[in-house]
Amino acid sequence: MGRSGANGEVSMQLALEPELAPYVPPDADTAFGDEALARRAKAMACTVPLHHLEANKGRVRDGEFSAYTVWGLAFVAIDTVTVQMDFDRGAAHGVVIEAMLPYAGRQAPERDHAEHREVCKWVLDELIGTSSQREFTVEYGDWNGEYVRRSFGFQLLVERQAADGSVYLRATDAAINVLVGALDTDVESAQAAAEAKLENLVRRGRLSEAQYAALQARYRTIQLGEQIRQDVAATRRNLATVDWAGEVSPRLDGALAHIGERLEVERRIAENIRETRDRAQESERRAQAASLIELLEECQNRHMILQRKLMEARQTFLIEQQRQVFAPPASVRLRDITRELLLPVLSLPLLDADAPAVGFFERVLSPRPQRIMRLSTLIAQLLAPPRERAELGAELLEPELRELTPYEAFPEPVREAAEAVLAQVESQPRRLSTLLDAALDHSPATAHLVALLALHSFSPALESQLRAGDDAPLLLAWSDGTPLPPQLRLSGGAPGDLAVASAGQAGPSFCGDDLLLARLDLAPHLSEVRT
């Protein structure tokens, strides 16, 4: 910024360069001891990965991604994951990418679908942090007391594992906070504020902002539900680690009271909006009001679910108390492993936790005997015939062995004939119907096998074959929607798939699409690439 700028520029310059500003002696307690400095710095840190995405998009894929506003895509990803998080699941990677695709498509309609998918995948990977050890670290200054530079580590989307082993995504509190913009607020009071804002907006007829406020309220409810789910899970595991009277019970009470209020408030708002909708003249505003009502209904559903979980929470506590607390005491003084070992180690700084953590590990897994080698026995062992393991007890019964003949669905001549028919297929596509005709000349079984082999070539794993270094010509089958001719379609089947009906006395009948087959030979081109 030049020094000889307009007035506005000069005043900005003064603010940026303190030596030119009038001197104000700093009061150590009020000026530097402000927690909000660090808190706001950390809140802003949560947005750094998004800035990073936007700043780096030109550096990947030769700048192709510059056509997209990638942080818009990032918000879609975080929204999708957050909304899919109910009480215990999040969103699968695929679901998130599908949700992002239409946005990428709108941003760069001239680019192809594959690139849209690539940019979505890149954004999602960056939000998970796959290129940064799945963690973001930002440094900030802590003014509380002495000035200390601290590093703040956080995540936005985390991968978690479902019971079936699949990996899905959840949004962290940091991400939800970034998303809703309320960066450092108490859950319940923020919700109350959102309510007041919503009512106010509705009264003034500013519906799109009202919708935004309702969305905000919904994210808060999801957060509250997550907290209570974790409380219940902890209670089931060990009651001793849960402070029911002091912590959880008041939280449940608060949440219950709050749900009662929310249900009432939302009902009132919905009434107001219905009125607004009925009075509104513009069709756009009517549509807006309608979608807001839909959103409010979804909020109400969520409150109902939360309410049910709250009821169950108390029941869980009573049952677990019966099970865990009323049991006979131990005779000697033993530590409670969670409270007196695990929690202290978890609380310590890494440097101090090192020794006890390693100590427990090494002691619980000891003793571990070393094998001692002796040359004379080693040589004897190497020369000895395999030892019979008499200590295993009962003598082994001689198993009864029977000669097995391999079961063959198709005898050799049929296999050869089918191969000969398929050998006719070269790079020029051929219809399955002509191949089947040729095969039927040999035998019905040959035609059956040809049909099965054609099905097998439908969407072959080309990529894995090539990666394994197999560049033999590959049979490819695809459908252009043409059905098989009626003389082959003796019995009906679902359109769109090829089925071989049971081979009756009159021979097999085929139905479905008349696939196209061709042979793809990449070998010459591959050798060009390799050399």
Partner 1 sequence: MSLAEDTDQAAQLIAYGLRPKVRPIENPDYRELVRRYRQQDSFARTVRAVASGMGLDVLDVTEAAGVVLGAREGSAFAMRMEDYYRRTRERNPRLRVLHGLAQLAIAATSFPRPDDLEDEEHAPRIAVNEVDEYLRDLCRRLDERHAEQELDPPAEDPGLERSWRMYARQPEAAATEDRRAWSGATRQVIARAFVALTEQGLMRKVSDALGGTYQPTPAYRIHVRELAREDVWFELDRITSENGLSRW
| Binding string, residues 376-415; x marks residues near partner 1 by CB under 8 A | ---------------x------------------------
Stretch that binds partner 1, among 280-288, 330-338, 457-465, 504-512 (CB under 8 A): 330-338
Least Å distance, CB 262 to partner 1, is: 23
Is residue 11 within a helix (H) or strand (E), and if so which, with residue range?
A: helix 7-16
Stretch that binds partner 1, among 133-141, 192-200, 432-440, 477-485 (CB under 8 A): 133-141
Least Å distance, CB 261 to partner 1, is: 24
Binding residue count for partner 1, defined by CB under 8 A: 78
Stretch that binds partner 1, among 103-111, 263-271, 301-309, 367-375 (CB under 8 A): 367-375
Q: Kindly identify the residues of this chain, within the stretch 162-191, that bind partner 1 according to CB under 8 A.
A: 163, 165, 167
Least Å distance, CB 144 to partner 1, is: 6
Burial readout 44-74 (b: 16 or more C-beta within 10 A, e: otherwise): ebbbebbeebeeebeebeeeebeebbbbbbb
Shorter beta-carbon distance to partner 1: residue 234 or 503 = 234
Q: Which residues contact 128 (CB under 8 A, 6 or more apart)?
A: 134, 156, 157, 158, 159, 169
Q: Does 350 bind partner 1 (CB under 8 A)?
A: yes
Among 264, 354, 419, 470, which residue sits at the site for partner 1 (rule: CB under 8 A)? 354
- 518 SS3 class: strand
Indicate left, alpha or beta for 418 from its phi (over 0: left) and psi (-120 to 50: alpha): alpha
First to last CA, the chain: 55
Q: Can you give the C-alpha Rg of the chain in angstroms?
A: 35
Q: Which residues contact 265 (CB under 8 A, 6 or more apart)?
A: 195, 199
Least Å distance, CB 89 to partner 1, is: 14
Is residue 434 within a helix (H) or strand (E), and if so which, with residue range?
A: helix 432-442
Report the half-sphere exposure of 270 (CA within 13 A, side-chain side). Answer: 15
Shorter beta-carbon distance to partner 1: residue 109 or 329 = 329
Q: Kindly identify the residues of this chain, within the stretch 211-240, that bind partner 1 according to CB under 8 A.
A: 230, 233-234, 237-238, 240
Shorter beta-carbon distance to partner 1: residue 333 or 530 = 333
Q: Tell me the C-alpha distance between 169 and 219, whole Å.
A: 16
Q: Does 366 bind partner 1 (CB under 8 A)?
A: yes
Stretch that binds partner 1, among 255-263, 368-376, 378-386, 489-497 (CB under 8 A): 368-376
Stretch that binds partner 1, among 214-222, 328-336, 380-388, 458-466 (CB under 8 A): 328-336
Least Å distance, CB 322 to partner 1, is: 14
Q: Kindly identify the residues of this chain, within the stretch 143-162, that bind partner 1 according to CB under 8 A.
A: 144, 148-155, 158-161
Least Å distance, CB 405 to partner 1, is: 35
Phi (first) and psi of residue 263, to 5 degrees? -60, -45
| Binding string, residues 239-278; x marks residues near partner 1 by CB under 8 A | -xx-----x-------------------------------
Stretch that binds partner 1, among 301-309, 364-372, 377-385, 518-526 (CB under 8 A): 364-372
Q: Indicate if the alpha-carbon torsion angle 5, 8, 11, 12 is positive or negative.
A: negative
Q: Indicate if the alpha-carbon torsion angle 182, 186, 188, 190 is positive or negative.
A: negative
Among 94, 109, 367, 406, which residue sits at the site for partner 1 (rule: CB under 8 A)? 367
Q: State both tokens at 394.
A: 């009962």
Q: Tell me the C-alpha distance between 531 and 370, whole Å.
A: 52
